[in-house]
Amino acid sequence: MPELIDSFNRPIEYLRLSVTDRCDLRCNYCMPRDFHDFEDQEHILSFEEIERVVGIFGTLGVKRVRLTGGEPLVRKGLPELAARLSALPGIEDLSLSTNAVRLAKHAEALAQAGISRINVSLDSLRPERFKEITSGKLEKVIDGLMAAKQAGFQPIKLNMVAMRGVNDDEFEDMVDFCLEHNFTLRFIETMPMGDTGRGATDYYLSLQTVKQQLSERYELVPGVMAGGGPAKYMQVADTDLRIGFITPISQHFCETCNRVRLSADGTLYLCLGQDDKLELRPLLRRGVSDDGLREAILGAIARKPEKHEFREKPSQQVRIMSMTGG
Ligand code: SAM
Ligand code: SF4
């Protein structure tokens, strides 16, 4: 199987695929509350176009694909797309990142369609606070999580963005919730992604502090977790609970970056924090051949930047997360 290797010798074997830039929530670190500046519908790749591009990535050695957005469950027919992608040669692992608002309705169909692993964003277990952060209803997310459990996804990972003065008194509650339901927990540092209007950088909290805080109550031992992501795992001693720490700011992991992102409008972004990209939509709609597509992708991978500069240039990244595909 050919391999995609960038100019820093990093094998690229993971594609994060945004199926929509729309969302039914407005998380304060991600999207401005009154945001409506979405991509024109005719610019959004069709299922056929997505399938074609993912198929080409499969022939280039990409084995793992994660459906994301925006909120992927806002896109109609997502289970159908999932079934098509999981049947593609070379694609061994298809996973989903979701806010779980609509998961109760779709969990079973997604499992049937070949999605094995699921990540759910959850920043608070308190309904009022959840509403303040996301403008949504916690109840729906909890229903979605229970449906996912019922449908047999394994693992189910909860992603909690740690925010100073917002949810920093809830880390232990979240650990207990994950222990109770056999979920994996991951903490994420806020990244300066565009102007969300609510000062994501103001409540940045280093996860080194969170780890310290948790180790006062729990015995944390080094842990491992399959999946090849950037999280560094600890395990709560004498339990199955693994806790991942994703630290793009306090300890970046660019030297092991193995991914690229395809946005809903067909732009291949080579780094979350940089503007380097390849516009695939015009090529697809101009009737490019498979070889032409492969060549364009290889050329783009050779331009993948060495690292993001969130720390050095916090105002550089003007795209909000849902535009790139988080
Ligand atoms: N809507 C889905 C969800 O929330 O899981 C998938 C897309 S969302 C953009 C993917 C992930 O990006 C979520 O875990 C979210 O917490 C994270 N995210 C969004 N904006 C962020 C930011 N500025 N800093 C850190 N994480 C961010
Ligand atoms: Fe929507 Fe996910 Fe962004 Fe929240 S983090 S606004 S759920 S895309």
In the 3-class helix/strand/coil scheme, how is 248-275 assigned residue by residue? CCCCCCHHHCCEEEECCCCEEECCCCCC
- What's the CA-to-centroid distance between 224 and ligand 1, angstroms? 23
Q: What distance in Å separates the CA atoms of residue 304 and residue 41, rounded to the nearest whole number?
A: 28
Residue of 24, 28, 74, 97 best suited for mutating to test ligand 1, as the one with most atoms within 8 Å of CB: 97
Pocket test for ligand 1, best of 27, 30, 184 (most atoms within 8 A of CB): 30
Residue 99 vs residues 111, 158, 297: alpha-carbon distances, Å: 16, 10, 30
Residue ranges for the chain with pLDDT beneath 70: 1-2, 195-201, 227-228, 311-326
Distance CA 82, CA 94 (A): 8
Query: With 0-12 CB in 10 A as exposed, 13-18 as middle and 19+ as buried, what is 108?
Result: middle
Q: Is the CB of 25 under 6 A from ligand 2?
A: yes
- The whole-number pLDDT of residue 4 equals 92
What is the residue type of 45?
L
* CA 275 to centroid of chain Cα atoms: 18
Which of left, alpha, beta for 194 (phi over 0: left; psi -120 to 50: alpha)?
left
Q: How far is the CA of 24 from the centre of ligand 1 (A)?
A: 13
90 backbone φψ class: left, alpha, beta (φ>0; ψ -120 to 50): left
Question: Which atom in ligand 2 lies closest to the alpha carbon of residue 71?
Answer: 8
Angle (deg, nearest 10), helices 138-151 and 103-112: 20
CB of 322 within 8 A of CB of 31?
yes
Whether 161 is in the pocket of ligand 2, judged by its Cβ within 6 Å, is: no
Ligand minimally distant from the alpha carbon of residue 18? 1
pLDDT at 307: 78
What is the Cα 276 distance to its own chain's centre?
Answer: 19
Q: In this predicted structure, what is the pLDDT of residue 272?
A: 83
Maximum Cα–Cα distance across the chain: 59
Query: Residue-wise over 179-205: b if at least 16 C-beta within 10 A, else e?
Result: eeeebbbbbbbbbbbbebebebeebbb
Question: What's the length of the chain?
Answer: 326
Every domain of the chain and the residues it spans = 4-324
Q: What is the C-alpha separation between 162 and 207, in angstroms, rounded?
A: 8
What pLDDT does residue 64 have?
A: 96
Strand 117-121, strand 156-162: pairing: parallel
Q: Do 81 and 47 meet the contact criterion of CB atoms below 8 Å apart?
A: yes
For position 129, what pLDDT does the model report? 98
- Strand 4-5 relative to strand 11-12: parallel, antiparallel, unpaired? antiparallel
Which CATH entry fits the domain spanning 4-324: 3.20.20.70, 2.60.40.10, 3.40.50.300, 3.30.1490.100? 3.20.20.70
pTM of this structure: 0.94
What's the 290 CA to ligand 1 centre distance in angstroms?
A: 32
Residue 316 is predicted with a pLDDT of: 60
